[in-house]
Amino acid sequence: MSHRDFLAIPDFSTEELHALFVLAERMRAGAYDRRPLAGKSLAMIFMKASTRTRVSFEVGTWQLGGHALFLSPKDVQLGRGEPIADTARVLSRYVDGIMIRTYRHTEVQELALHASIPVINGLTDLLHPCQILADVLTIRQHLGPELRDKVVAWVGDGNNVANSWINAAARLGFELRLACPAGYEPNADLLASARSRTKVTVVRDPAEAVQGAHVVNTDVWASMGQEDEQEARRAAFAGYVVDQALMQRAQREAIFLHCLPAHRGEEVTAEVIDGPQSRVWDEAENRLHIQKAIMAVLIGGETL
Ligand code: CP
Ligand code: NVA
């Protein structure tokens, strides 16, 4: 049986992404009452911790009529070394879709290769595509649906979240400016391919990236799996704090986004994340709506 995965933002065309946002907005508005996952199950594999991703996928599956299983490495044989390909084949006999959060992106690709059901990427060391679709949904919610006239600034680590912003810029046509310290730049291949489609720049100075931006976005300095680099990273990212002075360089109506969890006093000040320009709670909520739209389409047969 043919199926579609969502491992990276370019898995959807630009037109499909816009339709996905509209579907998610209908869901957010309470204007969607179908149950496309009725009688269906989603396996959720979490090799890393999660609050938002776990709860939003689990609740979202239930709201669409389905059932979700939380599988942690402590409980499943994958955590004891059962091959990912075998896990994919076996889960495909029981459930209708798999969401996975893990370390290496190639593990997710291998899972998708051997599964006969849709696989959704819930974060890898390389990408966090569901997050950035939720972030774009938040931009639409607060700044309107036209994205091509927007400037998005990223301040900090060129990590999985930054890499997915690059993919989103390429597909949706907004300008993206990333300010990263030396040695912490985003993925070079993704950058090169995005640059043929839209304006993506990498600079050192956060002020340069944020000047006139509509969206200011950051993330933790040390991602999951990088705990032992924490000290070195704290030094490298010292000048990469989103504070009120930096926010003042952005547009007056600019919004602040952070995928969360956040460390107040490190990458962002409390004044900014808890201040009037912050939209982080809507951003977290939008994970639920966009992931429901993704599941309705990939697993539930909803058309875009
Ligand atoms: N933003 C995000 O993915 O949060 P969790 O790690 O809590 O899932
Ligand atoms: N870059 C962070 C995002 C967490 C949602 C991490 O990978 O830990």
pLDDT tens string 231-281: 999 999 999 999 999 999 999 999 999 999 999 999 999 999 999 999 999
Task: Assign 221 a pLDDT band (cuts: 50, 70, 90).
Answer: very high
Name the CATH topology of 131-283: Rossmann fold (3.40.50)
Cα of 301 from ligand 2 centre, angstroms: 30
Give strand pairing partners of 217.
Answer: 154, 257
Stated pTM of the model: 0.98
Q: Determine the Cα–Cα distance for residues 208 and 206; give it in Å rounded to an integer.
A: 5
* CATH code 3.40.50.1370 for 9-128+285-298: yes
Residue ranges matching CATH 3.40.50.1370 in the chain: 9-128+285-298, 131-283
Q: Is it the case that residue 302 has pLDDT exceeding 90?
A: yes
The β-bridge relationship of strands 215-218 and 255-258 is: parallel
- For the CA of 56, the closest atom of ligand 1 is 8
> Rounded distance, CA 301 to CA 303, Å?
6
Q: What is the pLDDT of residues 104-146, one digit of tens each?
A: 999 999 999 999 999 999 999 999 999 999 999 999 999 999 9
Find out whether the beta carbon of 56 lies less than 6 Å from any atom of ligand 1.
Answer: no
CB 256 within 8 A of CB 272: yes
Tokens of 226: 């990088």
What is residue 290's predicted lDDT score, i.e. its pLDDT? 99
Residue type (1 letter), 131: Q
Query: 52 - beta bridge partners?
Result: none
How many CA atoms lie within 13 Å of 126's alpha carbon, on the beta-carbon side?
16
Does the beta carbon of 101 sit less than 6 angstroms from any atom of ligand 1? Answer: no
